[in-house]
Structures are given as structure tokens and as C-alpha cells.
Structure 1
Amino acid sequence: MSSAARSPEADLTACDREPIHRPGTLQPHGFLLALHGAERRIVQASANVPAGPDAVLGLELDAAFPEIAAALAAAPVEAGTGARHLRTLTLATAGKARAYDLAVHRSGDLTLVEMEEADASGPAGGLDALSSRLDAFVEGLLAAPTVAELCRLLAVEIRHATGFDRALVYRFDRDWHGTVVAEDGNGVLPSYLDLRFPASDIPAQARELYRRNRLRIIPDAGYAPVPIVPALTPGTEAPLDLSQSVLRSVSPVHVAYMRNMGTQASMSVSILVDGALWGLISCHDHAPRRVPLPARNACDFLTRIFALQLAARERGAEAEQRLRLGAIAQRLLGAMAETEDFHDGLLARPDDLLALTEAGGAAIVTAGTCRLVGRTPPEAAVRDIYRWLSARHGGEEVYATEALAEAHAPAAACTETASGLLAIAVSQRYASYVLWFRPEAVRTVKWGGNPTKAATPDPAGGPARLHPRTSFETWKETVQGRALPWSLPEIDTAKDLRAAILGIVLRRAEEMAALSVELQRSNKELEAFSYSVSHDLRAPFRHIVGYAELLRTRDGANLSEKGRHYLDTLVEAAFSAGTLVDNLLAFSQMGRNALKRIDLDMNLIVEEVRRKAMRDVAPERRVQWRIGPLGRVRADPMMLRLVVENLLSNALKYTRGEPETVIEVAREPDRDGEAAFFVRDNGVGFDMAYVGKLFGVFQRLHRTEEFEGTGIGLANVRRIVERHGGRTSAQGELGRGATFRFTLPLCA
């Protein structure tokens, strides 16, 4: 940061508060009249008015100055137009005729008339004197290859029109420091070309006056101020607002500044681009110098022509940059549209991601991920910046700085990669950012004197205030810890990218929401259909079994052996179909019943299910159980019991042919807030090529003749686990057993 910007804020406030638009005095090279009402009664006048203020106060203008009244009658004054030069008048004062340039403007309810003494010794004034050079000037502006050349042409033309020793074109930066970007001089005064001046040299209220009143001249810094009589405006009891005045007295601080600079006369013309203060033309002379008002108005006209060309150049350059960045943004949008996750789309075009903001590095950071591109700080430092952004600037859509370490001190350790930061928040709910980094741009700034201004105590006991520097010798400062500033098109393009990302995310969220609604509707219809079919089919299967048993009891003796076999097959098939319907009914109800989660001891659940399963195991089977400590989970007890029943019964069923059955139930290390379990057996296993079918409804990898079942058990396991927010998986090998894993949320 520049040393000027480090000046204590308290040192500047006294200067900033100075009411320079209401000084209460004028420069003495003219006089002022304040007129009120339609009759134009004189209510205030400067002390140097011909015949004295006492002789004119209270009179109507046409009685005191009929020549001025006639000129005003021919050219009515409108509010808000600023000071206008009407004409040059000759007044008979103190026994001799004297020429004055008449300027008039509005100040609240008053009309202010200013009569500036015309100086025949000054440069020839007005557009007539400049007409021979005007065409060449305009042609030069059109042909100038750079903004620097535009500024040089203006400095040359303004000095020629005014005769000052030196004419400077002075440009403000974002922090209101000013740099002399062009100069023309005769060598009498030292060159200030390329020197920088701190914002404190032209305080905020002075800049506002420059914006509102484009022209100001101080013909002689040694002038004695002329008071306005009375000091307060009748009716308002406030000092007269002289914002638009051409004779307004200036701050004593500014007069001292001029003297310290070695100049006795100065003139400034404001350069406004789209209504904003871009810079100033500042002219100086080593001796007092008068420039007639018409000549000053001509300089203002030239400056406005220059400002139009300047604005066109800057807008053209900005438009070109926006088009180039827009094309890059379109490529990034295309890449994002082709991926499910916009992160992947951005990272698929790393060069474009960096070129979008002319950055050296970039990062996409969320609470769980940090993906880096180009030259960036280490991941730990990027995460620290992310946490700081979330905490200090979480409500901001875009954050940009060229001096990150000044806002976030730990970033001083990574200035080589991240002196500048541009960040966009890409989520409206969660902290998620795209970050761009710029490296440090070490440069030497040449100041016009030491920019650090110390406040000095007021001898009268008032607050400390700034005083003008006494030296303008070149003072060099090495600026470190700052990157090149982010341009407005770069920031706007980042904003547009943010809007596009949010649009993509929102559109996909809406698509997912619509799909979710459709899936819920389809699931409900399927559940209702399954329930209805299952419920309605149970009665016919009961009838088949019932009548088959009656047939066996009453007429079984009359049936042949083949007939009895058919009857047994019929009963077995009916029982199997009934079991299938019951399982289907249970599966359809699985999505209809609300979960009732409680904290459960998994070892108790497993032991209860194990005992029940062993009742149906033949006494001669050898079964070895290996059950580890399983801890606690939060789940619905009825549904969790069904999961364990299905897994343990499957393990017993598919190990039936083994000489010794080994079934292991264990808990794996917790991860990501989940408890992970597995059930492993040494049975027939399965081919991993078909693992995708295992958890589907009616999907079986073994023939019914080998192992009974309906193919719904594992589908129930998956559905229950997913309803709890967990996951299921399986791993197996033919002839070497299978392992089934599932996860459940940890206890709170």
C-alpha cells in the first residue's frame, strides 16, 4: 500500500470538512452581486463593488447597474447550468471606463452576477483565437495512437491558449491518487511528468467542486481576499454558496501549497468522462498571470472535445475486452453444460478459467473439496482464505482486492502467488467459491515529494490538521504486496459467470426436484399396485392349498402315485406362491411405513436373530459364529431386525453344503458419520459379473432347485438401509463365500 494511503484517517478529516464552497470571500480581480426575486434586488455584494456595498445593497439591479440589467434581460439564467459568460461590458467606475467579463449563475434562490476585470495584457481569448488551431487539434486527437498521446496534445494546446509556463494533464486512480500523465512547459518550472500525488492533496470536497465547476483560476496567489457583505445571506442566515463562482476565494492551505510549489498563478480545467471526474488540466506560472474568461471557456471547450475522444477510446478498449472475456465465458459455459458437476466443466478448460480474469492461479473450494489450477498458494493457505471469506464476506456475491494481505494478514506469506484475489460465491446456501489469484507486482512509484503528511497541532487549541508539504522533490517508493488491479470488465465477467453457474445449478436442482416428484408419484402408484395385487392374491392361493388338502384327505387313496405327486407339487407351488406374495406385500409396505428411529445395541439385535435362525438348522450341521463388538446405531428396530434376518438366513442357506459353516458379523472403522458393518460367510459365493442384480426384486443368482427363496430379501435389505440414509454393497467369489456390507448413521 502506498504511504499516502497509510496516513491516519484522523489527519485528513479536518481538511475534508473545510467548507471551501462557502469561503465568504472572493479573489479581488472582480466583484460579485447576489440578486433576489424577479425585481433582482441586490441582497449581498463583495466589498470591492464600485461605489461600495453600502451604496448598492437593497437597490434593484437596473437602478444600480443598468448595463448589467440589460444584459441579463437578453439572456435569462436557468438553474443548474453553471456559470455562463454572457458578454464583455464597460462600466463607468471611479470616473473612468473599465471593461468587465460578465458571468452569471444560480445559487439556490439567488442569481449571482460576477464581473471579472478584462485584462488586455492576457492572451487573446475565445474560440476565435483558437479557430486556426482547432481543426489541427481535432485531427490530432483522431489520429493519436494512444491515450498518452491524446493527453500530450491537450497539454500542448492548453498551454498555447493560456501562455502558462507549464500545463499538466493529471489523472486520478481508483484511490484518488493522481499521476501526471502528460506535460508541456517552457522550462521555467520543473517537470512533474510521471510523478504521483496523494489523494490528500485534493480532498473529497475539493474533487466534488472540480466535478461541479469545471473551471478555476488563481491569477495571483498573493491576493488579499475580498469579503462578501453581509457575510450571511438574508433569509437563510448561511454563508453564500459559491460552488459555481469564477471569482471564489480558495483555501489558505491551497494558496500555501502553490507558494511551496514555486508558482504564483494557476488554472485548472476538469476532465469529466460520463459525468465522473477523470482528471484535471493543471496550469502553473512562476509569476501572476491573468487569462480572460473567454479564453478559459475556450479551454473548457477543447477539454470537452478531448473528453469525448477519451471516452470513446476507453469505451472501445473496454468493449473489446468484454467481447474477448465473453467468448472465454461462453467456452466455459459450454464445458459446464456437458458435465454433471460445474466444477468438472470449469476444470476441463484450465487455460480459459485463468484467462477469464487474467489470473495466475485459480481454485474451486467448498467445505469438502479444494481443487487448484495454475500458480496458487498451498492448499492449506487456500482453505484458510476460504474460511476467512466465508466468515468476513459470506454475504457478498463478489469480492475483489489487489492487496489481500492488507485485508487478511496471513495471506502475507503467499504474496508471490496471491497478492490479488477475486472471488465469486457460487452457492446461495453453502460456502462455495471460485477464487482467482494474481501474483505480486513489485513496482517503483515516483511521488511529487514525500506523500506522508503528518498532522500538526493547531496553535489556537483546535483539532490537528494537515498542512501542505514544503518539498516537491521526487520521492521514490517501492510498492510491494499488491497485484495489478482487477479491471471492471474482469469483475463484471466474473459476476456473469457466477450468475450462469447459479442458473445451471438451479436448473438442475429444478430438474432433479421435478424428477423426484415424478419418482415419488410412480413409487406410490407401484406400492399401491403391489399391495393391492399381493393382498388380492393371498386368498386364491389359500383356496388352492385348502382344496388340495381336502382332495388329498378324501380321495387321496383313489389317486394314482403320479396323481399324488401332482397334488404334492400343486400344494408346494401354492405355498411357494403364497410366500412370494407375502414377501411382495412386505416389500410394498416397506416404503409406506414411517421410520421410528431409536438408539439400538447391534449385538443384542444380532444375537436375537441368530438364536431364532438356529432353530431351523439341522442338529447335525456345524455352524461357527464369529460376532465382534458391534456398538450402537440409530435405526428403526423392526426394520433393522429384518435386515439382519435376511443377511443371516442367507448366510446359513448358502453355506448348507459346507462341512463347517463359518459366519462372521463385524463392525468396520466408522467414517463420514456412518457405522459400517459386514456379514461374511464361506458358502457358494457368486460371480461378481452379476453383482448388480443381487439387490434387485426377484433377482436370483442360483436355481430354486438348489436354494429356496423368492429374490426379495436382499431388495428389502437395500431399501431399508437406503431409507435410513445408508449404503449397501456385496463382494463374492464362486465357491469361496460372500461378504455383504451396509452402513447406518451413527448415534447422535
Structure 2
Amino acid sequence: MEHGRQVDLASCADEPIHIPGSVQPHGALLFFTPDGLLAGWSANAAVMLGIAPQLGAPYGELGLPACAREIIADCIGLDEGDVAPSVCAATIGERDFDCVAHASYGRIVAEFETREVPADEVSQFAIRAHGSIDRLRRQKTIEGLLAAAVQQVREFTGFDRVMAYRFRPDDSGDVVAESRREDLVAYLGQRYPAGDIPAQARRLYILNTLRNIVDMDYAAVPLLGEPDAAPLDMSFALLRSVSPVHIEYLKNMGVNASMSVSIVINGRLWGLIACHHMSRKLVPYAIRMAADVLAQVMASTIYSIEARLDADLAEQSARVRTAMVESLLLDDDPVDTLGQHARAMMAASGAQALLASQHGKTEVFCAGLGGAPKELPEGLAEAIIASLPDNQHDLVVREMTADWPAPLQPQVGKWVGLLALPFDPLSHGWCVLLRTEQIEQVAWGGRPDKIAAGPLGERLTPRGSFDAWYETVRGCAHPWEPAVLANARLTLAELVRAISSHRAQTEATRAQLLAMLGHDLRDPLHSINMAGMVLERTGSATSNQPTLGKRIQSSTNRMQRMIGQVLDMSRIDRGMGLGVALEPVELSALIDDLLDEARMAYPTLAFDVECDEAATVKADSGRLAQVFSNLLSNARHHGEPGKPIGVCLRRRDGHAVIEVSNVGQPIPADVAATLFNPFKRTSLNNPRNRTGMGLGLYIAQQIVREHRGEIHYRHQDERVIFEVRLPLA
């Protein structure tokens, strides 16, 4: 990176820190081609290692110690991406070195790091470090684990300050444990913004889990080699030089040496052990590796603790789901069932309130725990349900005020966290979990948005002050944890399954009941009808008995038709079909018979008939008569009084086309879309057809389909027209 380049957070994020082209001066570096030929070296290698480096020289001819040659030889032939280091201790002249070699990105890298501590002292430190591992494994909580870890790392490394960072989902980090020299300012509890660790630095923290800077005032040593060669990728190097921005950042904290150890869980940077020293400090490689092993043990232990907590939560949620599903299968009202299990659901999800809603009915259940209000403001529950999308089949998640629709934001108040489960989209059925805002006083490690001028120019500089800067954060609930979301999806699936099962069972029972009622009512209705006929024929001295008989017959005939429609619908719903018996039927004769019956029943009714063409189809004459009778009845009920009903029969393209029409306004588009649905709202309680149930056109369509035909509606020349097309025999 060029000294003096204008650097802001954007360009800092683009800085190629993995190819700095230089090393820290407390060691020397050589790098080779995959077959062991020298490709480059640090400028201090000749003096520090006592060699005369030349491009293309075989590693075995450089005069390196035997152990160094052995670990370089171990790297020859390794596959691309192999980074496992080989280590040995060597003495060159009067200096002791830790020699580390690894292969990566098509190069073999050999580093010679000065060791300033005698080998026996290093061994004692390493033994103490490994003893710390057993103590960490016994920790039962993450908080206890991190507190013990910073204390142990400080004891066997000797740093002035050791902190444990834990990263949040937004990549900001909190200092959650600290062990420090008593005269240093405490950073425990402070939060650091995500921008303090740019993306490329976060990548290196994951690839190379241990990083050491010996002296912030070092003078970088450049790498030498073939001028046109690709720069050396030092992602896994120990001696890699450091970004000037990072150096400035640490100097602003008063730090002169540092070490960081990454805590990586499932490929994600979960946290860091950050070590600071106020003067120069070189920690021997073996002790650093012990700290790295300790961090791996921490990662494994943290993963186990989190997995256990998730398992406990999953078990608790499973118990709630099981009990709730059992209740749903027995109870007809899901809202009541959710209310019975509301407290258990809130406990399993960390929510303070639950809303249950279906068919416009909404119930509210509040836990009133943790300082949360004991009830929602009036009208808020209904407004929340109304804000949820229609036909939603997945969870709806909101975690802050800004996630809510703008008109609803002032009304939400403290209830800013929402997790909504659409258990029945057809009836707008929702189970909604709510969390209140978590008012948080954040102690930032310095004001995160402070702009200042630094040694590298005017820019957003690493902070010059790390005194705590406090900010009160409002309008945010505690984020819904991944485990809670996963359990919510399982709960949603069980709710949907239970609702669907209950609905299917109800529909089957309803269809069976309708069939039974239709069958059992027909006989007594037939008897009543016969009694009405007898009463009409026998007559008596009073003049109202014939009229009474006709009313009885008319009423029983209507009931018979309704029962017949119910039975037909029951058969259709159960997939049984209507059982048509096909035979040749002359449609013109069938229509003439139906028109004769209509004229006798309604003498004042006028018809315009065009049935000049003969048309024979394979059909069930009784069922077709049912279709045309329904169309004629609809035309009579809905047509303009005094205007004729049109009936037309034509042959067209191998089909018989029958049209029944009446003068009238076009049917509205929303109504036309549901014309052939059962139990239409427009048919129920219609003043022109009070006995209609909305089943006639539905059954007519099924009959026509069983005859391999089609039925359609259109409006043309101020007439409402229903057209039936049947294939000719």
C-alpha cells in the first residue's frame, strides 16, 4: 500500500492485505516454486540466515539447516491449497529460530522466525497452556468459558490485556470477557462496529486463525524476486506485514504489540481472543500454537453448548407442538386451541405476546413478563393482523420499527418484534408472536462515525479515542434466533397439517351427513307430496283446501329439488361422479318437452325458439334435462320481466350448441369469475331466487363435463347468454 494514499472505509475494504509484498523484521522468508526452486526472499534473508540467495537455486543448495531442508522437502508435491505447516527448531549462527514451512497457492513458503526465549522455558509455557485446555472443557456456559479463557491466555502468554470478542449477526463485536493489567482502562462491555474489521481482514481471520504483530514501530522488509512474477499470497504466512490502517488503529489504542486468535465455528468468525501489549513482545511460536489449539477447543466447546441449548429449545418446542396438534384435532376452533397453548408457545420462543386470528376473530394473550406490557393497546391486534399479507405461506419476520408498514409504525409502540405463522391462508388464519423493543445503552469503543484526519490523510481514520461513547438504541427487538425460526417453521408445518387434516375430516363428515339427510328426507317428503295431491283432488266444502294442497306440493317439490342438488354435490365432492347413462338423445325433442312444461307452469312467459336443426348426442336425457331446466329457471328469475327468453339449437364444428338467454345487464366480472362455484354469496338470499343455494350452475357444469362438453357465459347484444356445447353422436 502506497504511503500517503487517500484511504477511507471503502478503499480500506479493497486493500490487498494478503499480498503486502513485505514482512515484519523479526524473521526472514524464502519462497519456492512447487518443485523447490527459489522464487523470492525477504531483503534481510542473506544477513539473517547467512545465505546467498539466487533465483532458481534448489532449496538444498542454499546452505540451510538440515531440519529446514526436511520441512521444505515435505511440502514438495502437496496439492494446491494444502497449508498444513511443518515446524522445526534451528540455530543459525548465534540465533535461535522457529522454522515453519507450508504450501499454498502454487508456492512453498519457508519462514524463519527469531525465538528470543530458551527452549526449556517455551516447553514450560506450552505445558501450562495445554493444562488450561482441560479447565476450559469443564465450563458449562459460554460466559464462563470466555472468562476462563482470557485469564488462562494472559497467564501463559504474558500480554498486558486479553479480551474475548463475540460477534453479532451484523458483524459488530462486543467485548464479553477481559483480563488486564490493573492500570489499563477497561474495555469490557464495549461494542465495536463491523467496519473495524473489513471483509478481507475477516476472511484472513478465518483462513489463518492466529496473527501476531511484534512491534507496531517496525520497518517493513520488502520481498525480492522475479520482477514480473505474480505477487506472493501471504494469507497463511506468519511474518506477513500489516496494513498501515491497522497499525494506526492499534497505536491509537496505545498498543505496541498484539496477537489475535480466531474462534471459528462452522466456517463463520464467531469471535476473537485479542491480546494487547503496551511494549514490544514476541511470543514464541509453540506458545502461540498452544493458544491456537485452545481456541479450537473453545470453538468445539461453544458449539457443543449452543447445540445443547438448541436441542433443549427444540425439545421444548416439540412438546408444545405435540400438545397443540392433539388439541387441534379435537377442537373445531384453532383460535381457542392456540389460546390454550399460548403461554407455552411464548416461553418456547421468547415472546411476550401471542395473537391468534381466523375468519376475522382475533384473540390476544400476553405474558406480562420481563417488564413487557400486560396487554396491547386497543385496536393494535386487529391492525397487526390486517398488516399481514394475503395468501402467505411462509413466516413473516419483523425485528424493528422500520420493518413495519409506515402507517402502522406510530401505532406499534413497544411491540416491534413480530414472528407470524400463516397456518390457514384461506381463512386468513395467523398465529403471531410478538416481542417488545429492547432499549439498549450501547457503550461503543469510541464514536463509530467520527471523521478525523490521520497520518495517512483526511479520511474516516481509525479512532483516536477509545473512551466509551454511549448511544441509546430504541425501536429494535431482540432478533429472532435461528433456532426459534427453525422451530417456528416446524410448528407452522404441523399447524397446516393439523388444520388440513381436520378440514378434510370435516368435509368428509359433512358430505356423508348431506348424503344421509338427502336419502332419509326423500321418503317423508314424497309422502307429504302425495298427501297434498290427495288433499287437492278430494276437495271439501271449504274453498281453501285445493290452494293448500297446491302449496304443499309446491313446497315439497322445491325441497326435493334442493335435496337432489345436495346429493349431487355430495357425490361430486367424494369423486363418485353423477353416474350418467349414455344413450342417443335428440336434443330438439328434449328441448321442446322442457319448453312445453315451462309454458304450462308459467303461461305468461314468452320464448324465442330456434331449434330448426336436428342434433343427436350420446347423453343421459334426465341429466341434460336437469341442465337445461336450471338454465331456463335462471333466465326466468334474472331476466327482465315481460322480455322473452331465447332458446337456440345449432350444429357447429361437430358439436351441438345450445344457447339459453335473457335480456339483462352483464354480470360483474368478480361475480362471473365464480359463477360455477358452489354456495356463491350472490346466490344465497337472492331476492329474485330466495330458495337458491348456488348449486345449480355448479352441478350443471359437472353434468356437461361428464358428457365431454363445455358450458360458458357471455354477454352479447344486451343479453345474458349461457352456451352449452356437446359433441354430436
| TM value normalised by structure 2 | 0.67
Matched, 1:148 2:143: yes
- Sort the Cα spacing of 1:349 and 1:87 in 2 relative to 1 into closer, same or farther, 3 A: same
Give the aligned partner of residue 58 of structure 1. Answer: 56
**CA offsets, 1:335-378, max 9 Å, x none?**
22222343332123332343332212122346744433225644
Which residue is equivalent to 2:247? 255
Deviations 1:569-597 (CA, angstroms, capped at 9, x unpaired):
xxxxxx99999998898678767799xxx
The partner residue of 2:167 within 166, 172, 178 is: 172
* Mapping 1:358-507, distance limit 5 Å: 358-365=350-357, 368-374=360-366, 377-378=376-377, 380-386=379-385, 388-390=387-389, 397-405=394-402, 408-414=405-411, 416-427=413-424, 432-454=429-451, 466-507=460-501
Contact 1:419/1:482 (8 A) holds in 2: yes
Q: Which residue of 1 aligns with 2:318?
A: 326
CA offsets per residue over residues 585-641 of structure 1, 9 Å max, x none? 8678767799xxxxxxxxxxxxx999989xxxxxxxxxxxxxxxxxxxxx9561586
Aligned counterpart, 1:71: 71
CA deviation after TM superposition for structure 1 residue 521, in Å: 9.7
Contact 2:175 2:189 in 1 (8 A): yes
Name 1:652's counterpart in structure 2. none
Inter-CA distance 382–14: structure 2 relative to 1 (3 Å threshold):
farther
1: distance between equivalents of 2:156 and 2:557?
104
Counterpart in 1 of 2:85? 84
Shift in CA distance, 589/160, structure 1 to aligned 2, threshold 3 Å? closer
CA separation of 1:138 and 1:401: change in aligned 2, threshold 3 A: same
2:299 corresponding residue in structure 1 = 307
Paired with 2:401 and 2:553, the residues of 1 have a C-alpha distance of 72
Note if 1:48 corresponds to 2:44: yes
One-letter amino acid of the counterpart of residue 25, structure 1: S
How far off is 1:291 after superposition?
0.7
Question: Aligned match of 1:224 in 219, 226, 229?
Answer: 219
Whole-Å Cα distance in 2 between the matches of residues 69 and 507 of structure 1? Answer: 72
For 1:384 and 1:586, locate their aligned partners in 2 and report how far apart those are by CA, in whole Å: 45
| Matches of 1:180 and 1:519, distance apart in 2 | 67
Distance 1:317 1:120 in 2: 43
Q: How far 1:222 sits from its partner (Å)? A: 1.1
1:73/1:364 Cα in 2 relative to 1: closer, same or farther (>3 Å)? same
Deviation at 1:500, TM superposition (A): 0.6
Report the CA distance between 1:490 and its aligned residue.
2.1
Distance 1:156 1:486, change over 3 A: same
Q: Structure 2: where are the runs of 5+ without partners?
A: 1-6, 367-373, 534-539, 541-549, 573-599, 606-629, 640-679, 699-719, 721-729
CA contact (8 A) 1:47 1:229 kept: yes
After TM superposition, the structure 1 = structure 2 runs for residues 107-126 of structure 1, keeping only pairs within 5 Å, are 107-120=104-117, 124-126=121-123
Contact kept? 1:84, 1:105, Cα under 8 Å: yes
**Alignment match, 2:693:** 721
User: How far apart, in 2, do the equivalents of 1:421 and 1:434 lie?
Assistant: 10
Deviation at 1:513, TM superposition (A): 6.8
The verdict on how the C-alpha distance between 1:329 and 1:174 changes in structure 2, with shifts beyond 3 A counting, is same
The alpha-carbon deviation at position 272 of structure 1 amounts to: 2.2
**Compared with structure 1, are the counterparts of its residues 482 and 253 closer, same or farther at alpha carbon in structure 2 (3 Å cutoff)?**
same
- AA partner of residue 89 (structure 2): T
- Residue 18 (structure 1) shift: 2.3
Q: Distance in 2 between matches of 1:517 and 1:672?
A: 20
State how far apart, in whole Å, the 2-side matches of 1:678 and 1:334 are: 44
* Residue number in structure 2 paired with 1:664: none
- Is the aligned partner of 1:130 residue 2:102? no
SS at match of 1:227: strand
Structure 1: gaps of 5 or more residues = 1-9, 543-564, 566-574, 595-607, 614-634, 645-670, 680-715, 727-746
Does the CA-based 8 Å contact 1:424-1:433 persist in structure 2? Answer: yes
Q: How has the CA–CA distance of structure 1 residues 506 and 297 changed in structure 2, closer, same or farther, with 3 Å as cutoff?
A: same
For residues 127 and 508 of structure 2, the distance between their equivalents in structure 1, rounded to whole angstroms, comes to 72
CA distance in 2, matches of 1:395, 1:581: 46
Q: 2:184 matched to 1:195?
A: no
Q: Distance in 2 between matches of 1:523 and 1:44?
A: 95
Give the length in aligned residue pairs. 569
User: Residue type matched to 2:490 in 1?
Assistant: D
Q: Tell whether the 8 Å contact from 1:269 to 1:303 is kept in structure 2 after alignment.
A: yes
Q: CA 1:11/1:411 → structure 2, altered by over 3 Å: closer, same or farther? A: farther
**Matched-pair contact (CA < 8 Å) for 1:455–1:467:** yes
What is the aligned-residue RMSD (CA, Å)?
4.7
> C-alpha distance in 2, partners of 1:311/1:222?
38
Would the aligned equivalents of 1:45 and 1:53 in 2 still touch at CA under 8 Å? no
Given that residues 252 and 464 in structure 2 are in contact (C-alpha distance below 8 angstroms), is that contact kept between their aligned partners in structure 1? yes
Q: Residue 255 of structure 1: CA displacement?
A: 0.3
- Decide whether the 8 Å contact of 1:100 with 1:118 is kept in 2: yes
Match of 2:95 in 1: 98
How big is the shift at 1:132?
4.7
2:343 matches 1:343 = no
Confirm or deny: 8 A CA contact 2:81 2:105 kept in the other structure: no
Residue 72 of structure 2 contacts residue 110 of structure 2 at CA under 8 Å; is this kept in 1? no
- The separation in 2 between residues aligned to 1:17 and 1:365, in whole angstroms, is 50
Match for residue 209 of structure 2? 214
Larger Rg: 1
Q: Do 1:377 and 1:417's aligned partners in 2 also have CA atoms closer than 8 Å? A: no
Q: Distance in 2 between matches of 1:170 and 1:312?
A: 19
- Bigger mean CA deviation after superposition, 12-21 or 295-304: 12-21
Deviation at 1:245, TM superposition (A): 1.3
Asked if structure 1 preserves the Cα contact closer than 8 Å seen for 2:24 and 2:221, the reply is yes
CA offset at residue 100 of structure 1?
2.0
Separation (CA, whole Å) in 1 of partners of 2:343 and 2:553: 64
Contact residue 441 and residue 472 of structure 2 kept, 8 A: yes
Separation (CA, whole Å) in 2 of partners of 1:261 and 1:576: 100
Using a 3 Å threshold, how does the CA distance of structure 1 residues 409 and 206 change in structure 2: closer, same or farther?
Answer: farther
Contact 2:414 2:475 in 1 (8 A): no
Question: How far apart, in 1, do the equivalents of 2:177 and 2:557 lie?
Answer: 93
SS in 2 for 1:211: helix
Assess if the C-alpha contact under 8 Å between 2:8 and 2:461 holds in 1.
no
Matched with 2:153 is 158
Partners of 1:426 and 1:577 lie apart in 2 by: 48
In structure 2, the CA distance between the partners of 1:678 and 1:121, relative to structure 1 (3 Å rule), is same
3-state SS, counterpart of residue 55 of structure 1? coil
DSSP 3-state at the match of 1:153: helix
Per-residue Cα deviation, 1:209-241 (whole angstroms, up to 9, x for no partner) = 11111100000011122222348773xx4x322
Per-residue CA deviations over 1:304-361 (Å, capped at 9, x if unaligned) read 2233333322322232222223222222222222223433321233323433322121
Q: Deviations over 1:228-271 (max 9, x none)?
A: 2348773xx4x322211111112111100011000100001111
* Alpha-carbon contact 2:313-2:348 (below 8 Å) kept: no
TM-score for the superposition, normalised by structure 1: 0.65
Q: SS of 1:362's equivalent?
A: strand
Q: Does structure 2 retain, via aligned residues, the 8 Å contact 1:336–1:344? A: no
Query: 2: distance between equivalents of 1:581 and 1:472?
Result: 91
Instruction: Call closer, same or farther: CA 1:429–1:643 in 2, change over 3 Å.
Output: closer
Instruction: Give deviations 1:47-83, integer Å, cap 9, x for gaps.
Output: 2222699832221211224433233335765655545
Query: Could you say what secondary structure the match of 1:426 adopts?
Result: strand
1:556-705 maps to which residues of 2 (within 5 A)?
Answer: 638=633, 676=685
